Each structure stands twice: as C-alpha cells, then as structure tokens.
A and B are shown apart, each in its own frame.
Chain A
Amino acid sequence: MIISLLSDICLLLGGIFTLTGAIGLLRLPDFYSRLHGASVTESLAAPLLIVGIMLDTGLTLDSAKLVLIIVIMVVSNPTITHALCRAAAHSGVTPKMETKNTKEKQSQSETEISGKESK
C-alpha cells in the first residue's frame, strides 16, 4: 500500500519534471539555458519515472535492468549535455545575457569579440 503510494508519487513527480523540462525547452531564451532546461528531463524526471516503475514491479530481474538504465542515464546525460555545450561553444554560440545589469557589459564584450574576429 505504502509502496504503491510511493510509486505513484515518484511517477507524478517525474511527470511534473518532464513537463518542466518541456516548458523550459520551449520558453528559455538561448541555447545554453534551453539545454539546462532540457537536461532536467533526463537527469531528474527519467530516473524518478523509472524508480516509480521499479517500486511497482517489485524485486525482479526487470527492476535490476531498470537500475542499469538509471545508471546509464545518470552517467550519459551530463556527458551529452557537456558535449553539446562544448560543440556549441566551439561553433561560436554565445549565451544571451540581456538582464538590466549585464546589458551594457554584454554589448561591450560583444564588440570586443567581433573586433578580435575581424582581425
């Protein structure tokens, strides 16, 4: 009874975080923050969903396989995010930083960068 309740809570939380990730992916302004939003889905929502399923199935070979999936996800997702970030940085994607405080600094540094590139 308690276990099924826990499983439901995990599944619900996982669903909420998936939704958060999707909204983040749609609404955040630039590549890096979108990546940050999307990685929530894989590093938090997916393990929660899998734990929910594991609590539901009980101690079987299937739940052992699910543990393996969690391990692989927890290791691979940050790596993929890192690789994507690196690739974006290499190809010259700059983060948007247009808050009130950083607007002036940002425009300054952008002119510096473009100055360097033109040389």
Chain B
Amino acid sequence: MIENLHLIIDVCLLAFLVLIAFAAIKITNLFVATMLFGIFSFVAALLFLDLDAVDVAFTEAAVGAGFSTVLMLSALRLTGAIENAKHRHSLLGLFIVGLTGAALIYGVTDFPNMGDANAPVQLHLAPEFIALTQEKIDIPNVVTAVLASFRGYDTFGETVVIFSAGVAVLLLLGSGHVEPKREPEQNMVLWIVVKPFIALILIFGLYVQFHGDFGAGGGFQAGVIFASGFILYALVFGEGYARKVVPASILPRFAALGVLIYGVTGLVSLLSNKPFLDYNALSSNPVSGQHMGILLVEAGVGLAVFSTVLLIFYSFSGVNHNE
C-alpha cells in the first residue's frame, strides 16, 4: 500500500511537471511564465523530497523556486512582461527537436531502473561512500561528506562556476548605483513584520550553514537564504538603504574571498605532501582534519554564493534605477 502511495504521488507530481512546462511554453505573458517556473521548481522539490533526496530538494526550493524567481522578476522589470508574439513554425526546428528528444528517450532505455539494487552506482560507489563516511569522516550526513570531501573537486568547480556567473553579470550590467530615498514610502505593517523576519532568516541561514554536517543543508542553501534576507530588506526598505548596509563594491571581493578560502584549503593539503583537497592534512587527527576541512570549504561556498546572489540582484535592479 505504502509503495503504491509513493508511486501515485510520484506520477501525479511528474504529470504536474509536464503540464506546467507546457503551460509555461504556451503562455505569452512572461510574468505568468515566471510564476509557472517557480511552481515548477517547487513541484520538482516535492518530487526530490518524495525520493528521499532532502538536500537536493532543499537546494531546488531555495535556488530554483526562490532565487531564480526573484532574478527573473528583476529581469522582467527591464524587459517588460509581454512576449513579442512571433511564432514562426519551422519544420527543420521541429525535426531537430524531435530527433534530439527521441535520442534522449532512446538513451534512457539503457539506464538502470530507478532504485534498482543491481545498478552500478549501488554496487560500487554508494556502499563505499556510506562505509567510508562513518569510518573516515564521522559525520551523520553522507551527502555533505560526498559533496565536500569525496567529491571536493566537483564542488570547487561549482563554486568557481557561481563566481564566474557573478563576474559575468557584473561585467555586462555593472553593479549600478542607487541613492537611498529621502523619505521612504511609509508602510508600517511591512516594516514591523519584516524587521524580526530578517533576523530570523539570517539566523536560519547560519543554522543551515553549520548544520550541513548533521542534516540537510550546507553552503549553497545557506548562501541563498542569507542573501534572501538582504534582498527582503532591499525590497521593503528601498535598495539604496540595502546598499548602505552591504555596499555593492564589497561583494565581488567577498565572492572572490569565498573561492579563495576553498582553494587555499586545498593548497594547504597540497603543501603538506597530500593530494589537493585531502583534509586529513589539516590536523594531526585525520577525522578532525576532515571536520575542519568540510567546515572551511562550506564557509567558502556559503560566502561565494551569498555575495554572488546579492551582487546579481544589485546588478539587475541597479540598471533599472539608472534609466
């Protein structure tokens, strides 16, 4: 019964995903399409949650549904909300898309079934990671161990990708300049409710940052949550005031510092004759070395993600104010 229930929920959520995707393609109002993308991300997060991938669901909800929606909305302020209705139907395009889709579906048939106990990943990688996490790293959350230690190279690459995204946006749009309004718009209800909420959001961000070893969470989610606190401040009190709290000029440095913390952690182990990002070198006790390495690396990721997210938000809304 329970297994069937999971199957029903999965099928419903997947059907929702397909429906939302079609609606988002068909609709010409870009504002509605943005909201549909947000809903798409939330449904995807639910699907991940049902598959017991809590960390992935958390990231999808924070980044996909939260941050991307804010970004798309600030982009819409620049472009306008209505799509230019030029739907040219090209047969060649249909053919290529159809061919690619067919190739992808054909490729899927080679995949092992979902949850197949004999799939290669279940036979070799997963048992090794689970056993080694307890033995060598000694933290409850295997996902964090894989992300920050076993697969530290990949995560370093992801952090650099996020950093370069921030740099690219900065080069294209600039960080803009917004003066605080002399008399901000009076809105007592929002002010009173939002003030303690920002504190709560920041505390929750720190909790997620440092709780990654024990449960769902880590630098990526924490960075986005922390930035969303400041974005909320910018939206309610005016962006000029937010720029006084966290100046736009400091953010690229913070982002670079985050990547630097990650890289230097790897270099330290390199200098003590161990492989790059082997945290055993950080302390005389290999296990506490791993703990320290994961803490440092997650701090670097959190700092880089936070500064990049806020920087991109500033860039998008800064352009709007200048013109």
**How far does the alpha carbon of A76 sit from the alpha carbon of B190 in the complex, in Å?**
10
Contact B197 A86 (CB under 8 A): no
Contact A72 B200 (CB under 8 A): yes
Q: B187 contacts which chain A residues (CB < 8 A)? A: 83, 86
Q: B189 contacts which chain A residues (CB < 8 A)? A: 79, 82-83
Contact B193 A76 (CB under 8 A): yes
In B69-128, which residues have CB < 8 Å from any A CB?
none
**How far does the alpha carbon of A102 sit from the alpha carbon of B189 in the complex, in Å?**
31
Q: B197 contacts which chain A residues (CB < 8 A)? A: 72, 75-76
Contact A82 B200 (CB under 8 A): no
Shortest distance in angstroms between A22's beta carbon and chain B's nearest beta carbon?
Answer: 13
**How far does the alpha carbon of A23 sit from the alpha carbon of B156 in the complex, in Å?**
47
SS class, residues of chain A in contact with chain B: helix
By beta carbon, the residue of chain B nearest A72 is: B200
In A72-89, which residues have CB < 8 Å from any B CB?
72, 75-76, 79, 82-83, 86
Shortest distance in angstroms between B286's beta carbon and chain A's nearest beta carbon?
Answer: 31
Contact A79 B193 (CB under 8 A): yes
By beta carbon, the residue of chain A nearest B197 is: A76
Interface size on B, residues (CB 8 A): 7
Q: A82 contacts which chain B residues (CB < 8 A)? A: 189-190
In B26-71, which residues have CB < 8 Å from any A CB?
none
Q: B200 contacts which chain A residues (CB < 8 A)? A: 72
Shortest distance in angstroms between A31's beta carbon and chain B's nearest beta carbon?
Answer: 14
**How far does the alpha carbon of A75 sit from the alpha carbon of B193 in the complex, in Å?**
8
In A47-90, which residues have CB < 8 Å from any B CB?
72, 75-76, 79, 82-83, 86
Q: A83 contacts which chain B residues (CB < 8 A)? A: 187, 189-190
**How far does the alpha carbon of A72 sit from the alpha carbon of B190 in the complex, in Å?**
14
Counting chain A CB atoms within 10 Å of each CB, which of B187, B193, B194, B197 scores highest?
B193
**How far does the alpha carbon of A75 sit from the alpha carbon of B189 in the complex, in Å?**
11
Shortest distance in angstroms between B38's beta carbon and chain A's nearest beta carbon?
Answer: 14
Shortest distance in angstroms between A62's beta carbon and chain B's nearest beta carbon?
Answer: 12
Shortest distance in angstroms between B9's beta carbon and chain A's nearest beta carbon?
Answer: 15
Shortest distance in angstroms between A43's beta carbon and chain B's nearest beta carbon?
Answer: 14
**How far does the alpha carbon of A20 sit from the alpha carbon of B43 in the complex, in Å?**
21
**How far does the alpha carbon of A79 sit from the alpha carbon of B198 in the complex, in Å?**
14
In B167-212, which residues have CB < 8 Å from any A CB?
187, 189-190, 193-194, 197, 200
**How far does the alpha carbon of A86 sit from the alpha carbon of B197 in the complex, in Å?**
20
By beta carbon, the residue of chain B nearest A82 is: B189
**How far does the alpha carbon of A75 sit from the alpha carbon of B200 in the complex, in Å?**
13
Q: B190 contacts which chain A residues (CB < 8 A)? A: 79, 82-83
Q: A79 contacts which chain B residues (CB < 8 A)? A: 189-190, 193-194
**How far does the alpha carbon of A79 sit from the alpha carbon of B194 in the complex, in Å?**
9
Binary flags per residue of B237-272, CB closer than 8 Å to A gives 1, else 0: 000000000000000000000000000000000000
**How far does the alpha carbon of A76 sit from the alpha carbon of B189 in the complex, in Å?**
11
Shortest distance in angstroms between A61's beta carbon and chain B's nearest beta carbon?
Answer: 11
**How far does the alpha carbon of A17 sit from the alpha carbon of B56 in the complex, in Å?**
30
Shortest distance in angstroms between B178's beta carbon and chain A's nearest beta carbon?
Answer: 20
**How far does the alpha carbon of A86 sit from the alpha carbon of B190 in the complex, in Å?**
11
**How far does the alpha carbon of A67 sit from the alpha carbon of B311 in the complex, in Å?**
34
Shortest distance in angstroms between B254's beta carbon and chain A's nearest beta carbon?
Answer: 28
**How far does the alpha carbon of A83 sit from the alpha carbon of B191 in the complex, in Å?**
11
By beta carbon, the residue of chain B nearest A86 is: B187
By beta carbon, the residue of chain A nearest B187 is: A86
By beta carbon, the residue of chain B nearest A75 is: B193
**The 8 A-B residue pairs with the shortest CB-CB distance in the complex, in nearest-first order:** A79-B193, A82-B189, A83-B190, A75-B193, A79-B189, A79-B190, A76-B197, A76-B193
Q: List 16 A-B contacts (CB under 8 A).
A: A72-B197, A72-B200, A75-B193, A75-B197, A76-B193, A76-B197, A79-B189, A79-B190, A79-B193, A79-B194, A82-B189, A82-B190, A83-B187, A83-B189, A83-B190, A86-B187
Q: Given A79-B190, A83-B187, 14 more contacts at CB 8 Å? A: A72-B197, A72-B200, A75-B193, A75-B197, A76-B193, A76-B197, A79-B189, A79-B193, A79-B194, A82-B189, A82-B190, A83-B189, A83-B190, A86-B187
